[in-house]
Structure 1
Amino acid sequence: MKNTTIYVFAIFLFLLAACGGSSSGSDSGNNVVTVPAQPQNVSLSFQAVKLFQFTWDEVEGASYYRLQENPDGVSGFTQVGEDIPQGTETYTLEVPIYARINAQYLLQACNTEGCSDSEVLTVDSTLANSIGYFKASNTDKEDLFGYSVSLSKDGKTLAVAAPEESSNATGIDGDQNNNDAPESGAVYVFARIGADARWAQQAYLKASNTDRGDYFGYSVSLSGDGDTLAVAAVSESSNATGIDGDQGNNDASDSGAVYVFTRTSATWIQQAYIKASNTDRYDIFGNSISLSGDGNTLAVAAYQEGSNATGIDGDQSNNDAVNSGAVYVFVRIGTTWAQQTYLKASNADEYGLFGTSISLSSDGDTLAVAAVGDDSNAIGIDGDQSNNDAFFSGAVYMFARTGASWAQSAYVKASNTDDEDFFGSSISLSGDGSTLAVGARREDSNATGIDGDQNNNDAPSSGAVYVFARTGATWAQQAYIKASNTDYQDSFGSSISLSGDGNTLAVGAQEEDSNVTGINGNQSNNDASNSGAVYVLVRRGVIWTQQAHLKASNTFGVYLFGYSVSLSGDGRTLAVGTPGDKSDSTGISNNRSNDHSASFSGSAFIY
C-alpha cells in the first residue's frame, strides 16, 4: 500500500508539471507569476482646480494598478476610477476639495495573483493650492466679478457675473477693452473642456442693448446641462413689456430686464429679451432669477414692484403697495418664451420685498419665494400672516404648479421669528423640491453648530440658516444651523446653495473675519475684517453636521468671500464668488497675484 501511494503521488506531480501547474502560479513552463512588488516612489501633488495628481515608478510584473481612497481618513479605503493599465505612471483625480482634508490614498500594483499596496499618502495641508482661482479676462477696478455665480448641475459650466464691468460691447465676445459704458455689466462663462477636462473661459457675454448703469449680471442662473443661461440687468430701463419688445429706449428707469442665452457645442447666442408684463420704473425686475433643470421654466423676481394684488394672477396695473414685490414665471416651448403666471404674496404689503430671493426645483414645479420685509410675528408653517408685529422678520412662500396652474402651498417662518432677522435673505431648494434652506443673515443668537439655543440676541447680525423638509405636502423645520465660530455681524446665511439631493449645503458668511486660508484652518480670530467664509454642511438621514470651513487661498480684509455660492448637482463642486477681491490678475490659476491694485475687481473660487 505504501508503494502504491508513492506511485500515485509521483503520477500526480508528473501530470501537474505537464499541465504547467504550480502552487505559486505560473503562466507557462517555469515562468512563475507572483504578486507584484510594493509600488515605490508614489507621490501626490496638488494641482489647480480640484485636481490631485499621483505619480509612481512602474512595477515589474504588474498588469494594472488601482487607486484606493479613504476620503476622510476614517471611512476606509475604496477604489476610485477604473483599473489603470500597466505602462501608466501618472493619474489625475478630480475631488471635492472641501471634503478631502485628512484624506488618505494608496496605490495597488496588481496582476492575476493579487495586489500589493503602496505606503499610505495622507492629505495633511489646507489644500490652498488646489483651489481654483478665477478672474475675468479683462480684470478692472470695481467690476465686482463674482457678485453672482451659477454652476450647472454637472459641474462643468460656470457663469460668473461682473455687474459693474464697463465695456460698451454688445452680444457675444465683443471688445472688452474699453470702459465707455460704466457699470453696464458682463457675464463670463467658463467650461471644463479638452481631454483633461481643464477649466477655460468659453464666452464673454454682454446685453444686446448695453447701456451705462444697467448692471447686467446682477443675478445669473444656469440650466442643469449648462446650455441655457439667464442673466438679469436690474437697472435696464426700457419700457417694453413681455418677450423681445423694443429695447431701444430708456423710458422706464431701473425697470429691469432678463436676457436668455443658449449654447450649441461651444457657441453662445442670445435667445430672448424678457420684460415684465407690467414694466414700471424702479421695479428692479431680475433682482433674483432661477431656471429649472431643463431650462424651460424661468422665475424672475421684481422685489420693488408695487401692485397691491395678492396670490395668483391678480390685478397688476396699480402701484398701491410700494415695494411689495412680485414674481413672474415664464416657460419655453421650443425656442419661444411666454409668461405663464404673475405671483404675489398672500399678504402683500408695502415694503414686503416679495422676491428678495427665489429658487425653483429641478422640474420647475416647486417655487420658493422669500420676502425679507414680511412683518408678521408668526413662527413655523402656515401661522398667522395678518399682523405686522415683527418688523422685517421675513418669510418664505411656497408655490406648486400642476399643469400650467400655480397655487401657494405654504407660508414659512423661522422657529424664532424676530424683528429685522431678514429671514429669506437667501433661499435654495433641492432638485426634487423637498428640502428648503433659508438664510437669515441678521439673526442674532450666539449659538454655534446645529440646533443650539436660538432664544437670545447676544450676537447681533451673526446670521442663521433654517432647513425645512417636505413629506407629502407638509413642510416642517428640520434644523436650525449656526456657524461653528458665530460672531457679531458675520452675516452667516447671506448666500446659500443646496446640492441636487439636498444632502450638501453651502452657506456664505460674507463678513466673517478670520485670517486663515484654505480649508479648516484656525477660525477663532478676527484679524481679517470682512474677509468672509463659506461653511459646508452635510446631512446623513435627518442629521446635519458641519464638514468644512472654507476661506480663500490668500485671505485679506474687505474681501467678501462667500458673497455668492453655487453647488453642482452632486455637491462635489462648489463655486464661491468674491466681489471684493483686489488682485489685478486675469484668467484661471491656483495662485493669487500679490498685486492688490484692482480693488473690488472680484474673483471666483472653485472647490
Structure 2
Amino acid sequence: MVGAPLDSAASVHGGAAYVFVRDGETWAEQAKLSAGDAGFSAEFGNAVAISGDTIVVGAPLDPADAFQAGAAYVFVRNGTTWIEQAKLTPPDPAANKQFGATVAIDGDTAAIGAIGDGQGAFNAGAIYVFTRSVGTWAQQAKVLSNDPRSGNLLGFSVGLEGNTLVAGSPFDEDAGIVDSGALYVFLRNGTSWSQEAELRADDGEEFDHFGWSVALSGDRGSRRNWLAPTQQLAINLAFRSACTETWRRSARSLTVPP
C-alpha cells in the first residue's frame, strides 16, 4: 500500500492510494484507489493500513461534514478488484478535527486517529475505534487519554493488534519538558477500551517527539522518536511481561548521517 495524498486525478489534491502485489520477485500495481466522493484537497491517502483483504485509507482533510473534519474509507478485495465498502466519519464532526490523520486495522477492527479532536482540551487528540459485522462498520468507542492536554495530538500515530491499541502523542509535555512526547497503551475488554499505560522515554528531552511513529506486534510495541537536531535517532521498545502485566522500557541509539 502506498498513499499519494496530493494526487489530483479524482479531485484537486483529492488523493489516491496504490496497491501493489508480489508475484515471485516481481512487484506489480494491482489497483489505484480513490474515494467515491473525492473531495477537494481531502488528501485521501495521507494514511493507509491493510489487513488481509481489507484496506483503510485516511482522508484527514475531507470537507464533507465540516472544514477539514476528515474521513476514512474502507476497501475490500474481490479477486483482483478493490471495492469501497464504507466511508467512516465520527459522530461528532468538527472543523479541523482531521479524523483519518492516521489509521490502523486488524481483522474486523479499525482505529482512526483524529489529532485535532478537542474533547477535554484544544487539539488534545483522540482515536476512534470501529468494528465490522457482516460487512457493516459501526463505531465501538472514542478513546481518549486519562489526562488530555492542549496540543498533545493524541493519535498522531496508531497501532492495533487484537485487543491492544497504542497511540503516539509526540507533542505531549511532561514535567515542563516541551514536546518530549508520550505513548499511550489502551486495552479492550468486551466493547470498552481503557488506558493501561502511559509510556515515556527515560532520557526524554525537549522536542524529542517521542511517539511520532509506532508499531505493535503481540505484547511488544515500538515507537520511534523524530530525528532530533543532534542527529541521534532513538529507537525505544516497550514490552509487557505476561507475568507482571507491566510495561518496561529499553532503548538504543543509532547515529544518523547528517
Interval containing the TM-score (normalised by the shorter chain) = over 0.9
Query: Which of 543, 551, 563 matches 2:253?
Result: 551
Whether the 8 Å contact between 1:426 and 1:438 is mirrored in structure 2 is yes
**Unaligned 5+ runs, structure 2:** none
The within-5 A match list for 1:437-476 is 437-446=166-175, 458-476=176-194
Which residue is 1:407 aligned to? 138
* Aligned-partner residue type, residue 367 of structure 1: A
State how many pairs are aligned.
256
Q: 1:480 aligned to 2:211?
A: no
How many Å separate the matches in 1 of 2:76 and 2:19? 12
Which residue is 2:55 aligned to? 298
| Structure with bigger RCO (C-alpha 8 Å, 6+ apart) | 1
Which residue is 1:508 aligned to? 224
The within-5 A match list for 1:3-152 is none
Which residue is 1:247 aligned to? none
Whether the 8 Å contact between 1:496 and 1:505 is mirrored in structure 2 is yes
Q: 1:288 aligned to 2:59?
A: no
How many Å separate the matches in 2 of 1:307 and 1:399? 19
- How far apart are 1:531 and its partner, in Å? 2.9
How many Å separate the matches in 1 of 2:109 and 2:38? 25
- How far apart are 1:286 and its partner, in Å? 0.5
How many Å separate the matches in 1 of 2:33 and 2:4? 10
How many Å separate the matches in 2 of 1:550 and 1:277? 44
Query: Which of 149, 158, 168 matches 1:418?
Result: 149
How many Å separate the matches in 1 of 2:190 and 2:145? 21
How many Å separate the matches in 2 of 1:474 and 1:326? 23
- How far apart are 1:269 and its partner, in Å? 1.5
Which residue is 1:253 aligned to? 12
Partner SS state of residue 64, structure 2: coil
How many Å separate the matches in 2 of 1:367 and 1:423? 16
Whether the 8 Å contact between 1:424 and 1:438 is mirrored in structure 2 is yes
- How far apart are 1:530 and its partner, in Å? 4.9
Q: What is the CA deviation profile of residues 434-485 of structure 1, one whole-angstrom value per residue up to 9, with x for unaligned ones?
A: 0000110111013xxxxxxxxxxx1111101110111222211111101011
* Aligned-partner residue type, residue 265 of structure 1: G
Which residue is 1:342 aligned to? 87
Which residue is 1:233 aligned to? 4
How many Å separate the matches in 2 of 1:281 and 1:298? 22
* Aligned-partner residue type, residue 130 of structure 2: F
Query: Which of 84, 99, 103 matches 1:354?
Result: 99
Whether the 8 Å contact between 2:39 and 2:64 is mirrored in structure 1 is no
- How far apart are 1:257 and its partner, in Å? 0.7
How many Å separate the matches in 1 of 2:159 and 2:79? 27
TM-score (norm 1): 0.41
How many Å separate the matches in 1 of 2:180 and 2:101? 19
How many Å separate the matches in 2 of 1:468 and 1:399? 15
- How far apart are 1:334 and its partner, in Å? 1.3
Q: 1:371 aligned to 2:114?
A: yes
* Aligned-partner residue type, residue 302 of structure 1: A
Q: Describe the shift of the 1:530–1:422 C-alpha distance in structure 2 as closer, same or farther (beyond 3 A).
A: farther
* Aligned-partner residue type, residue 486 of structure 1: G
* Aligned-partner residue type, residue 376 of structure 1: Q
How many Å separate the matches in 2 of 1:440 and 1:497? 14
* Aligned-partner residue type, residue 493 of structure 1: G
Name the structure where strand makes up a greater proportion of residues: 2
Q: What is the CA deviation profile of residues 328-366 of structure 1, one whole-angstrom value per residue up to 9, with x for unaligned ones?
A: 0000011111000001112111000001111001x2x00
* Aligned-partner residue type, residue 113 of structure 2: A
* Aligned-partner residue type, residue 508 of structure 1: R
How many Å separate the matches in 1 of 2:29 and 2:77? 14
Which residue is 2:241 aligned to? 540
Q: Describe the shift of the 1:509–1:346 C-alpha distance in structure 2 as closer, same or farther (beyond 3 A).
A: same
* Aligned-partner residue type, residue 533 of structure 1: A
The within-5 A match list for 1:523-538 is 529-538=230-239
* Aligned-partner residue type, residue 285 of structure 1: F
Which residue is 1:394 aligned to? 125
RMSD after superposition = 1.3
How many Å separate the matches in 2 of 1:429 and 1:539? 15
- How far apart are 1:266 and its partner, in Å? 1.4
Structure showing greater radius of gyration is 1
Q: What is the CA deviation profile of residues 361-384 of structure 1, one whole-angstrom value per residue up to 9, with x for unaligned ones?
A: 1x2x0000010100111xxxxxxx
Whether the 8 Å contact between 1:489 and 1:511 is mirrored in structure 2 is no
How many Å separate the matches in 2 of 1:442 and 1:544? 21
* Aligned-partner residue type, residue 368 of structure 1: A
Query: Which of 27, 30, 49 matches 1:268?
Result: 27
Moved over 6 A (4+): none
Which residue is 2:36 aligned to? 277
Whether the 8 Å contact between 1:510 and 1:531 is mirrored in structure 2 is no
Whether the 8 Å contact between 2:56 and 2:75 is mirrored in structure 1 is yes
Seq. identity, %: 32
How many Å separate the matches in 2 of 1:474 and 1:279? 33
Q: Describe the shift of the 1:530–1:345 C-alpha distance in structure 2 as closer, same or farther (beyond 3 A).
A: farther
How many Å separate the matches in 2 of 1:487 and 1:291? 34
How many Å separate the matches in 2 of 1:270 and 1:424? 30
How many Å separate the matches in 1 of 2:18 and 2:166? 27
* Aligned-partner residue type, residue 545 of structure 1: R
Q: Describe the shift of the 1:470–1:283 C-alpha distance in structure 2 as closer, same or farther (beyond 3 A).
A: same
- How far apart are 1:532 and its partner, in Å? 2.6
Q: Describe the shift of the 1:356–1:530 C-alpha distance in structure 2 as closer, same or farther (beyond 3 A).
A: farther
How many Å separate the matches in 1 of 2:56 and 2:4? 15
